[in-house]
Structure 1
């Protein structure tokens, strides 16, 4: 089977590694963002080394549905096009190119959490279970028939990086199971049940701003949801930006009285901060410039 891959992040890298190792598959082209557009994804992966190692053509693509991109993909005469780790909608003409179909991937238990920023939203919604989903791309948003799905549990203190890694492991496992099935000419499909569909909206870096009036548990959840490989939660003190990478709510913190955002303790590299409900410790953080906040400084967010 001839395949073309479109993507630019960690899931794309996993897909390429599995395709080049899978019997019965020939990966002829990888379409990815040019270097000047790498800022579109915080988890961007430079696929040039991987493509060079396996002798696969690497093509810079800015917009999926541009005529020159359509011509380029069409020239490969692929059986399948995999669009994995790519945040652009594929138009009808693009979807018609592959002889056997176009396959996508979404880090959520489709039909739940269709759309953008599925990993941060999973943590923000305090989901106890998630899943990785391979699906047949249709003209809607993540609404095509399911090809394969793998579920797993989330820890109560799940972080964006931990959840990201779980999805990569699940994707790799699914690909190892499904690529031989596709190569044999089979095409498993399960229609998504619209009764369970939900949609996740786009999140931007600005959405990581900490609101200290929120309870410590909610602030901790935000910090875990937007941490590495994403830009991180942040606050300000004295006009300086502080990025917070990890935290932990403090048991018994409700006995303290202070302004939300007020630093209650500063020692050993840990800031203890009053929230709208309880204390929180900022364990891993960095200040953009200058000295760390003084004791009793009030963080703004």
Structure 2
């Protein structure tokens, strides 16, 4: 299967870059002469701050997977912690070598590698062979192009990107490169040297979407397996993800006759009771909390179904040594962020709460009960203005549905990616507290409105203290009415046909509409309504 995959590449290779071959080598020779003085000064500064050796040498993977030795000026010392592990890069640099790295002066010796044909000016950066091997099928595709001094991944984020993001950008460039793109890449390289690295969201999103699309073509030329030969798949996760994942599998020809759904204990979508169902034959209702389903019970359900793949949708904690010991079972997790960013629970709520411009969705291999496993696939999700937790979860569900068939195609290829996460880039999300779902009237009107838009449509909602009574808030918007100078935050200025006008901490007012369940009395008929009016009198 792997041989067919390599032969019938889903990434259609373009003609060689215009800055390659004899012309590239001639340019490298000219630049070596031109940069001889900066190179000498750099070597002297490295010797003065770090001592010998001046040069850094390391084996990297090159064209067609052939290894070669990359050389550059050394910019870090070998300081280690008490456990013998190297300290983070930032602690092993000096101010001088940090400037050398910032201006890319440490890369000057690589002009020699262009001169002898191991590298080109433009192309994917040379990586360690072990790193390329984790790319699986995509590592073979990436190796079809000579490594470069600068590349599409470097000018679109560089060291701020994870390995899987760099891979997507590199593969997009390999298929779409043209002389015009090469020229633009050189312009962006100069801009990066002058202004520093910054993540360019649009090219990154385009590249990640490209990688998801191409993943579905990995085995298409070799012919898709018949339905009876397709892998058996078990799903386990909350209903809002489970339904979309199952529909996507069925639409793609997979048979998911058993679906495992666990209680939703995440504070993103709290729900007091959730059904665990395996198809239509098995159904039971458990109380809230994943602890209600024991390790042995969950493992027995998986063993009984005997799947080839177990998908844990935002629930890595279901994994256990018992599940991991099931022969031939591969376990994949879905996490609603761009791992290793925003590990942990409530990633969706935190993305909205922190007003991020973008987040992501990740499929990763699960080797223990967390979200630190190697990456299989990842894509980006943009957040709209006024994004809510509910609307972002819908985007996550739709993204999962588009990613899942593509990821399974990669697994069918026999050589799927297993890209290790960069722990130095990892961030973590903590559980949301009760206070996060209550309105703080001393906050600004903008902040209060953002919190209402986030939580109003979630099952647990958001609450505000009005006139000594707690109300669940359905909607809120700005009001042109201004509070008096003596108005305290949370004071009811006046009543409206559908709610109240309340003063905020910055003196501005908002119009809030309390919520009531279908069939219940109107909020105006409740005692809390009259108490609120009395409190605002």
Per the TM superposition, whether the score is higher than 0.5 is yes
Return the alpha-carbon distance in structure 1 between the equivalents of residues 533 and 285 of structure 2. Answer: 50
Per the alignment, residue 127 of structure 1 pairs with 356
Return the alpha-carbon distance in structure 2 between the equivalents of residues 251 and 134 of structure 1. Answer: 47
Higher strand proportion, which one? 1
Return the alpha-carbon distance in structure 1 between the equivalents of residues 272 and 403 of structure 2. Answer: 21
Rg larger in structure:
2
1:78 and 2:311 equivalent? no
1:187 and 2:424 equivalent? no
Show the 5 A alignment for 1:1-301. Answer: 1-23=231-253, 25-33=254-262, 41-42=270-271, 51-52=279-280, 63=291, 65-86=294-315, 88-97=317-326, 99-139=328-368, 141-205=370-434, 207-250=436-479, 257-286=486-515, 289-290=526-527, 292=529, 294-295=532-533, 297=535
1:80 CA drift (Å): 0.7
Q: Say which SS state the counterpart of residue 292 (structure 1) adopts.
A: helix
Residues 10 and 43, structure 1, Cα contact 8 Å, conserved in 2: no
Choose 96-105 or 251-260, whichever is displaced more.
Answer: 251-260
Aligned length: 292
Higher relative contact order (CA 8 A, sep 6+): 1
Offset from partner CA, 1:131-163 (integer Å, 9 cap, x none): 122211232532112222221221231112221
Classify 1:210/1:114 alpha carbon distance in 2 versus 1 (closer, same or farther; 3 Å): same
Residues 208 and 233, structure 1, Cα contact 8 Å, conserved in 2: yes
1:45 CA drift (Å): 6.7
Choose 37-46 or 57-66, whichever is displaced more.
Answer: 37-46
Q: Say which SS state the counterpart of residue 108 (structure 1) adopts.
A: coil
Structure 2, unpaired ranges of 5+: 1-230, 517-522
1:232 CA drift (Å): 1.3
Residues 316 and 366, structure 2, Cα contact 8 Å, conserved in 1: no
Classify 1:252/1:147 alpha carbon distance in 2 versus 1 (closer, same or farther; 3 Å): farther
Structure 1, unpaired ranges of 5+: none
Residues 8 and 44, structure 1, Cα contact 8 Å, conserved in 2: no
1:81 CA drift (Å): 0.6
Classify 1:141/1:237 alpha carbon distance in 2 versus 1 (closer, same or farther; 3 Å): same
TM-score (norm 2): 0.48
Residues 112 and 196, structure 1, Cα contact 8 Å, conserved in 2: yes
Offset from partner CA, 1:95-142 (integer Å, 9 cap, x none): 332624211112222212111122221111111111122211232532
Residues 83 and 102, structure 1, Cα contact 8 Å, conserved in 2: yes
TM-score (norm 1): 0.81
Residues 31 and 58, structure 1, Cα contact 8 Å, conserved in 2: no
Q: Say which SS state the counterpart of residue 297 (structure 1) adopts.
A: helix
Classify 1:93/1:280 alpha carbon distance in 2 versus 1 (closer, same or farther; 3 Å): farther
Return the alpha-carbon distance in structure 2 between the equivalents of residues 198 and 176 of structure 1. Answer: 28
Classify 1:264/1:296 alpha carbon distance in 2 versus 1 (closer, same or farther; 3 Å): farther
Return the alpha-carbon distance in structure 2 between the equivalents of residues 246 and 183 of structure 1. Answer: 48
Q: Say which SS state the counterpart of residue 212 (structure 1) adopts.
A: coil
1:47 CA drift (Å): 7.1
CA RMSD of aligned residues (A): 3.4
1:12 CA drift (Å): 1.2
Residues 500 and 513, structure 2, Cα contact 8 Å, conserved in 1: no
Choose 270-279 or 74-83, whichever is displaced more.
Answer: 270-279
1:222 CA drift (Å): 2.0
